[in-house]
Every structure is written in structure tokens, then in C-alpha cells.
Structure 1
């Protein structure tokens, strides 16, 4: 799988740009602020309908424009499909495949698959649990696109339930009784969507674990594949429904749902044996943390690749963050991918093993350099 042509209209800094691409390695080179990351961000957006840089779509629209368009010609098994999404802040986005509208924009998710490496990846091991949940859910949806609907349903129910908890806290008498009865209905919906999300996350972690160990061994000096471990940490021990009932008074008092997949985390640990294992967050060195973050991305790529087409690999300004050894190790590991898109401030930041097409990015122009 690879993108053969990218079109942007009013996306980020680009009013209009057309970029022809080939399989193999392509490097976008330019100073900070010139728009090189915007190009690969657009490819990734088509994959997940989300940005790896911002939480909402509004910043993706060029200043002064009302909407943006991202379109890509995607080649798979010798056949080309044109995927496009129209971003409409405040309104529903619209998606098309070969110019035919999709009933829901999220039906586009998973038709193009990407794995992004970026400087923000360090937050996977050093940041809040929300970073690790997002990593897991993004991979979950790429692996099984229908789960985008499950995740959206869970988020919708959670929002409604939190609103109802605040209502219950302020209510008295019969109004409170009625609100509590309604809460039981929302509990049913929360448990239904949450249980499916939880079970598929746990299955994903189990499948990802062996790939993580292998990837960490490849990027960390002197490591073995048993050093890096990943486990799912649930916010309750036994029954989701029973835990909701047990903590209902506390939830009403605080006006927020305290139990469920939105409170779960990934436990990332390092160590040669079960008794020597320590959490990466708070104990690992900077180099070990970077190696673990890279291993998480490499494991994601290897898992997706084992289950289907090669995902498109995006290396967004990541080489400048790594020492020479990790830079070269990562480059050698990804060089064989069907398509690798790299951004860098200077061409020298890109290891020689990733030699390929180069585009200079400056002042809104994207120009191919050399042949």
C-alpha cells in the first residue's frame, strides 16, 4: 500500500498543493514552520480522521477558510482508489471513495493505514494515561475499523452519563428518583459499549506484546526481547456493573464517571526478570524511554503488517531527537517498508539507508529536488 498522489486544499498552511509520490522513501526537507509536517499530517489524517498533533479539526483549516480538503490516490495490489475527506468545523465532515460519498465519514477509517513516529511519542511513556489510551485506541481502530463506532458510542454515553450525574447531585425528591432511574439506563449503555472496548483492548495488548519485545531488542543496546513488557491496567477488578453501583454515591458527589475504559492505562515495564521489573515512567532513563516509545511504534507496524498490507510509515522530525545509534537502528528497521515518508529540517538528518526522493518545502511550495 502506498500513496501515489496527495492533494490539499486549504489544509493547514496550504491553499492548494499537489504532490506526486512514489513507493519507497520520500523525504520532505525544510526549515521549521515551512509546512513539511503538514503534508504527512494530511496523509495520517486520511488514515484515522484525527491528527497526531492536535485534538480537534479546527487548527487544520487554513486561516480565513471555511473548510479543507485532503485527497490521496492510494495504490493497493496494483489498483488505485481515491480517498478524500472534507473537513467542516462545526459540522459533520464528509468523505468519499472514488468520488462516491460515504454515509459516515468514519467509514473511511482503515482504508489507508499509517504508523507515525514523532517527537511527541515520548509522551507515550512519560505522559498521562490518556496518551497511552489514545495510542491503543488508534491502533485498535486501524486493526478493526468498525471499533471506531464502538469508541464513539462509548464517548457519547460517557458524556451523557456525566451530565446526568451532575443533575442528580442538584436534584431533590421525586426529581432525584427519576434521575436515578434514568442513570440505570445509561449504566446499561455504558457497560455494553465499555465491555466491548475493554475486551478488544485487552486482546490487542496480548497480540502486541511479543512484537514489542522483539522491537525493543532491536532498538535498545544490549536488550533482550524479554526486557520490555506491556500489560493492560483496568480501573476495576471484577464486574464493571458492580463497580459502578459500588461507587455511585462518589460519582454523584463528584459529577463524573470514575469507572470504565476511559480510566484505564497501559502498564509499561522494563527489566530482565519478573522481580526486577520497574515502570518505564519515572524509572527509565531518557534513552530507555525513547527506545520504548520507538518499540511501541515498531510493534504497531509489525502487528498491522502481519495482519494485512504494509502500513505507510511516517517519520516526522524524529531523527533529530535521536542519538546516532538509535537513528541508524530505526532507519535500518523501516527501510524495507513499501512507503516511508520522512520530514527533516536538513537532509543530513536522514540516514543514508533511507535515500530516496527528496522534496524541498519552503514558502508554501513543495518542489522535487533532483531526479
Structure 2
């Protein structure tokens, strides 16, 4: 899979941009602030309908414009599809495939697959649990796009349930119980929260089980003197679950049953605090090197190696599904020492398409020789 042409309209710093691309390595080279990252960010956005740099869509639209358009010709198995998303901050985004509108923009997710490496990846190991949950869910959705709907619906239910708890608490503590309307409405949200949340827990657990061996191999490849048993990843749901077998993945009915039990157990605390304390939004992805957690114990170099290994493991997992994802390395080589830079470059070089951004040519390892595009911001 590769992108053969990219078109941008009012996206970030670009009023209009046309970029022809080829398989293999393409490096976008230019000083900081020239718009290199904006180009690769657009391709990654088509893959996930979210940005690795900002939490909302508004910053993606060029100042003075109401909407942005990202359009890419994507080649897979010799056939080309034209994918397009219209970004409308404050309104629903719209998507098209071969000029035909899709019922929902999220149906575009997964039609092109990307794995992006960036300086922000250090937050995967050093940041809060939300960064790791996002990493898991983004990978889940790329592998099974239908889960984008499950995740979106779960977020909506969670928001409604939290609003109910908070509003009741604000009415002088009526959330303590004894309010029939409150109790019946909470029960409705509980059922939906459990149904959607149990599916997410099960899918996350299965994903981590598949990711683990690939992470260990990737860490051994990028970390100096590391072995295949040094790095590990473990899913820690806020809801206990019952596995199919002793070491197998959980079953949805078992997760749902324990979800209900945990909601009941923590209900007094939820009513007192006015917030939902149980569910996938409270889960953690535990990362460790040897017997110690990465966060708080790993060196800066070990943390970088682990972050790279998470991305490489994602790439291998997506490849195992039958697609060779587009690899995007956004200004990442400047953050690495020579050993890690060379190891990473050798590992990604065989990919069908690799897109690199760098401030200077010297930041791009020799093994990633290929097309070079100079990026220079046009003065108004």
C-alpha cells in the first residue's frame, strides 16, 4: 500500500498543495516551521481521522478558512482508490471514496493504514495512561474499523452518565440515592456502558496478547544489548475479567458480569464524586523492562527504545493482517543517538512506502536513500 498523490486545500499552512509520491523512501527536508510535518500529518489523518499533534480538528484548518480538504490517491494491490475527507470544525466531517460520499466520515478509517513515529511518542511510556489507551484504540480501529463506532458510542454514553452523576450531585447531593428518576436513568446508562465497555475490554486484551511477542522482538532489535525477554506489555483493565482458559483472552459475558459487579461496588463513591470510576476509560497498559516498569525507572535511551518498539510492533501486527502500512517518521531521527537511528532505519527501510521529515539531509540515515523534496514555506 502506498500513496501516489496527495492534495491539500486549506490544511494547516497550505492554501493549496499537490504532492506526487512514489513507493520507497521520500524525505521532506526543510527548516523547522516550513510545513514538513503538515504534509505527513495529513496522510496520517486520512488513516485515523485524528491528528498526532492536536486533540481537535480546528487547528488543522488554515486561518481564515471554514474547512480543509485532504485527498489522496492510494494504491493497493495494483488498484488505485481516491480517498477524501472534508474537515469541518464544529460540524460533522464528510468523507468520499472515488468521489462517492460515505454515510459517516469514520467509515474512511482503515482504508489507508499508517504507522507514525514522532517525538511525541515518548509520551507513550512517560505520559499518563490516556496516551497508552489512545495508542491501543487507534491500533484496534485500524485493524477492525467497526470498533471506531463502538469507541465513539462508549464515549457518548460515558459523557451522558457523567453528566447525570454531576448534575445530581449539584442538586444538593441527590445522587446519594432515593431519587427514582436518577436511579432508573442511571440503570439505563449502566447497561449501555457495560455492553460497549465489555467489547472494548475484550478487544484490547486480545490486541495486547498479539502485540506482546512482537514488542519483545522489536525492543531487542532497537535497544543495544537487549534480549527478547527484556520488554513486556500487560493490559490492566479497571474491570476484572474471567478468561476463556487460564492464560486465554477474556470472554465478553465474563467481562460484562464483572463490570456490573464493580459498578455496584463503587456506586456510592461515584455518587459522592459525580464521575464514572469504572470502565475502559480507566484502564492502563503496563510497560516493563526486565522486572521494573518503564515509567519512572527506565533511562531516557531505554524509554526511546521502548517507544520505538511499540510502533514497530504495531507495524508488524498490521503487516500480519495482509497490508504493508505506510511508515511515517516525523522528525524522529534528530531525537535519537546514532545507534538507535541506524537500527531503526535498517528495520523500516524494506517497507513499501516510508515518509521521512528532517530539518537537514544529514538527519536522514544513508540506508533510507530515496526521493528528496525540499519544503520551503512561501511568503505571503
TMscore range, shorter length: over 0.9
Q: Does the 8 Å contact 1:10/1:68 carry over to 2? A: yes
Deviations 1:269-302 (A, max 9, x none): 111xxxxx00000000000000000000000000
**2:267 is the counterpart of 1:248:** yes
Give the secondary-structure state (helix, strand or coil) at the position aligned to 1:362. coil
Q: Does the 8 Å contact 1:113/1:311 carry over to 2? A: yes
Q: Matched residues in 2 for 1:325 and 1:339: separation?
A: 23
Shift of 1:170: 3.7
Alignment equivalent of 2:314, drawn from 273, 295, 300: 300
Q: Matched residues in 2 for 1:43 and 1:148: separation?
A: 18
Structure 1 residue aligned with 2:32: 32
Deviations 1:298-343 (A, max 9, x none): 0000000011210000000000000000000000000000000000
Structure 2 residue aligned with 1:46: 46
Alignment equivalent of 1:261, drawn from 280, 285, 292: 280
Map 1:127-142 to 2 at 5 A: 127-142=127-142
Q: Does the 8 Å contact 1:168/1:176 carry over to 2? A: no
**2:22 is the counterpart of 1:22:** yes
Deviations 1:222-267 (A, max 9, x none): 1111110000011133511111111111111111100100000100
Could you state the TM-score of these two structures normalised by the residue count of structure 1? 0.95
Q: Matched residues in 1 for 2:95 and 2:178: separation?
A: 43
Q: Matched residues in 2 for 1:223 and 1:175: separation?
A: 58
> For the structure 1 residues 18 and 225, does the alpha-carbon distance in structure 2 shift closer, same or farther, using more than 3 Å as the test?
same
Alignment equivalent of 1:182, drawn from 181, 185, 192: 185
Map 1:203-214 to 2 at 5 A: 203-214=206-217
Structure 1 residue aligned with 2:8: 8
Q: Number of aligned residue pairs: give it.
A: 360
Consecutive unaligned residues in structure 2, runs of 5 or more: 242-257
Give the secondary-structure state (helix, strand or coil) at the position aligned to 2:19. strand
Give the secondary-structure state (helix, strand or coil) at the position aligned to 1:51. coil
Give the secondary-structure state (helix, strand or coil) at the position aligned to 1:282. coil
Q: Matched residues in 2 for 1:235 and 1:61: separation?
A: 37
Could you state the TM-score of these two structures normalised by the residue count of structure 2? 0.93
Q: Matched residues in 2 for 1:364 and 1:34: separation?
A: 8
Structure 2 residue aligned with 1:335: 349
**2:351 is the counterpart of 1:348:** no
Q: Matched residues in 2 for 1:176 and 1:294: separation?
A: 51
Consecutive unaligned residues in structure 1, runs of 5 or more: 272-276, 366-371
Deviations 1:116-159 (A, max 9, x none): 00000000000000000000000000011000000001000000
Give the secondary-structure state (helix, strand or coil) at the position aligned to 1:89. coil
Shift of 1:167: 2.4
**2:231 is the counterpart of 1:228:** yes
Give the secondary-structure state (helix, strand or coil) at the position aligned to 2:374. strand
Structure 2 residue aligned with 1:274: none
CA RMSD between the two structures: 1.2
- The worse-fitting range, judged by mean Cα deviation, of 73-82 and 165-174 is 165-174
Shift of 1:7: 0.1
Shift of 1:176: 2.4
Shift of 1:175: 8.3
Q: Does the 8 Å contact 1:167/1:179 carry over to 2? A: no
Map 1:139-150 to 2 at 5 A: 139-150=139-150
Deviations 1:80-115 (A, max 9, x none): 000000000111000000000000000000000000
Q: Does the 8 Å contact 1:25/1:340 carry over to 2? A: yes
Q: Matched residues in 1 for 2:83 and 2:108: separation?
A: 8
Q: Matched residues in 2 for 1:229 and 1:77: separation?
A: 35
Give the secondary-structure state (helix, strand or coil) at the position aligned to 1:164. helix
Structure 2 residue aligned with 1:88: 88
Shift of 1:180: 1.2
Q: Does the 8 Å contact 1:280/1:289 carry over to 2? A: yes
Q: Matched residues in 1 for 2:154 and 2:378: separation?
A: 40
Q: Does the 8 Å contact 1:168/1:180 carry over to 2? A: no
